[in-house]
Amino acid sequence: MADKKKDVKPEFATREDVERAIDSLSSADEVRLEKFARYKIQGLGRKALGRDYEDLFQEAIKSTLIGAGDREEGRHWRKTNVTFVQHLFGTMRSIASHWKEAVDDNEAQLDSDSIVETEDGDILSPVENAPSNAPDQERSVAAKEQLGAIFRLFQNDDDAALVIEGIREGWNGPEIMERLDLPKNRYEAALKRIRYHVK
């Protein structure tokens, strides 16, 4: 609707703001954004469906531009509140999360579609009842291999292996340090080594 455009609040960035912000990115910002996007895509694994970090950038810009022209659609960069880099981090987090959820929902749908009710009223799920649980195994192979390769990288690095264990538990940085009794300098050094090897 035509009125929507007029309603866009002034604090929402325009296309020109976005263009200027891209031009103004520092080299450190460029690195942070690239590494962030690459890790987000790697974290999606097979759920990325062939997309790469450039696709994540593309989608983030597209969503930002939509938000620049419409207060109800896309992602709005509130330039008075957050930097462009922070905005892009947030937008990419959200997009990657949506991509992951879309695959999760689709798989949940596929599994529920295969559930059948017997004459006795029992619920049978071919996926859950398969002797080898083969579909789950197939889905998991790539992630399992990737995780295995990462663990092998740090089999002789106790601190890094501990940090990875903590991350797998779903702990945050301070929790990892506290629960594993890891001093901050050793935690940070281990995380740096993990980043160095896992790219």
Partner 1 sequence: MPKKNKNDEELHLLMSFLAESVTQLSDDQVKEEYGAEPKPRTKEILKAALNDCAKQKLREARTEYESAAKGLSLRSYNLPQDKLERRALLSSILSRQSDLRSLAFTAQHRELKDLTDSDVESFLRQLAELGLLASFLE
- Residues interacting with partner 1, by CB under 8 A? 15, 18-19, 22-23, 25-36, 39-40, 42-47, 54, 57-58, 60-62, 65, 89, 100, 104, 107-108, 111-112, 127-128, 136, 139-140, 143-144, 146-147, 150, 164, 167-168, 170, 173, 191-192, 194-196, 198
Strand residues in the chain grouped as ranges (E)? 116-117, 123-124
Rounded to a whole number of angstroms, the minimum distance from the CB of residue 180 to partner 1 is 14
Quick one: CA torsion of 21, 27, 33, 39, rounded to 10 degrees? 170
Contacts of 194 (CB under 8 A, 6+ apart): 154, 160, 163, 164
Q: How far apart are CA 172 and CA 114, in angstroms?
A: 38
Q: How far apart are CA 166 and CA 8, in angstroms?
A: 44
Nearer to partner 1, 71 or 188 (CB): 188
Nearer to partner 1, 26 or 156 (CB): 26
Rounded to a whole number of angstroms, the minimum distance from the CB of residue 64 to partner 1 is 9
Nearer to partner 1, 140 or 180 (CB): 140
